[in-house]
């Protein structure tokens, strides 16, 4: 049986060495692809059915947590803190009936990908995108008057609540079947943030 000398022995160790971590650039592309897949699927579902499946949010959340534990990930603590920022940030708007429960959960899952403190900035971008898209949606759907009425009623309710307590007034906001899918705002705001980070340094 022929024997290889040290000079001619083929170097195959790198093929079986599992200790080398994934290259940083490849991991960042994987991270972006997973986030984009979750948001695009949520935007499609919300636009088509006005709901965001819990299974989609759960898949995104578990994927984000798994990626955070990678050597190149943002870390478990940052992911959980970002998720809480996204969840709690939009829970207030859910209580005001401005967004749906699926939107709140999607924002939380997005925070798991983005992490803390970046999710604070993403929350602001989502709110700005939501304002712009809501006005555009209302104009094209012929509901601008109702949208402005709801906005005025919401501001009034917040002011009265601060002055006389949360039970001082209870305003029901009419929700149209053609309301803007808020997943569009979550996707748009997150996209603006991610574009500021790419291309990678």
**What distance in Å separates the CA atoms of residue 99 and residue 186, rounded to the nearest whole number?**
11
Residue 118 lies in a domain: yes
CA distances for 114 relative to 48, 122, 155, 190, angstroms: 26, 8, 30, 9
> DSSP letters of 183-199?
HHHHHHHHHHHHHHH-S
Q: How many domains does the chain have?
A: 1
- 185 prior amide bond cis, ω within 30: no
Entry pTM: 0.74
State pLDDT tens for residues 111-127.
Answer: 999 999 999 999 999 99
pLDDT at residue number 25? 83
List the one residue out of 160, 191, 186, 178 whose CA is nearest residue 90. 186
Q: Is residue 112 part of a domain?
A: yes
Give the HSE-up count for residue 82: Cα atoms under 13 Å, Cβ half-sphere.
Answer: 25
Whole domain around residue 188: which residue ranges? 23-133+183-197
Residue 169's contacts (CB-CB under 8 Å, 6 or more residues apart) are: 156, 157, 160, 161
Q: Which helix (H) or strand (E) holds 62?
A: helix 54-68
- Band of pLDDT at residue 198, cut at 50, 70 and 90: low
Kindly state whether residue 93 falls inside one of the protein's structural domains.
yes
What is the tens place of the pLDDT at every residue in 127-166?
A: 999 989 988 887 887 666 666 666 666 666 666 566 665 5
- Asked, for residue 176, whether it belongs to a domain, the answer is no
Q: Do the domain assignments include residue 122?
A: yes
Q: Are the beta carbons of 112 and 61 closer than 8 angstroms?
A: yes
Tokens of 90: 């939009």
């Amino acid at each position: 049986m022929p024997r290889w000398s040290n000079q001619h022995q083929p170097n195959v160790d790198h093929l079986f060495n599992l200790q080398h971590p994934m290259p940083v650039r490849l991991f960042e592309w994987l991270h972006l692809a997973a986030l984009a897949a979750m948001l695009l699927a949520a935007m499609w579902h919300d636009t088509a059915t006005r709901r965001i499946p819990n299974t989609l949010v759960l898949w995104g959340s578990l994927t984000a947590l798994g990626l955070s534990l990678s050597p190149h990930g943002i870390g478990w603590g940052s992911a959980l803190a970002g998720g809480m920022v996204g969840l709690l940030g939009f829970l207030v708007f859910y209580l005001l009936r401005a967004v749906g429960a699926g939107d709140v959960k999607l924002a939380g899952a997005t925070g798991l990908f983005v992490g803390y403190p970046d999710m604070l900035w993403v929350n602001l971008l989502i709110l700005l995108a939501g304002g712009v898209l809501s006005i555009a949606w209302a104009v094209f759907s012929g509901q601008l008057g109702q949208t402005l009425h709801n906005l005025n009623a919401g501001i009034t309710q917040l002011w009265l609540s601060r002055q006389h307590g949360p039970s001082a007034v209870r305003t029901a906001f009419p929700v149209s079947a053609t309301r803007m899918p808020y997943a569009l705002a979550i996707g748009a705001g997150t996209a603006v943030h991610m574009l500021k980070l790419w291309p990678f340094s």
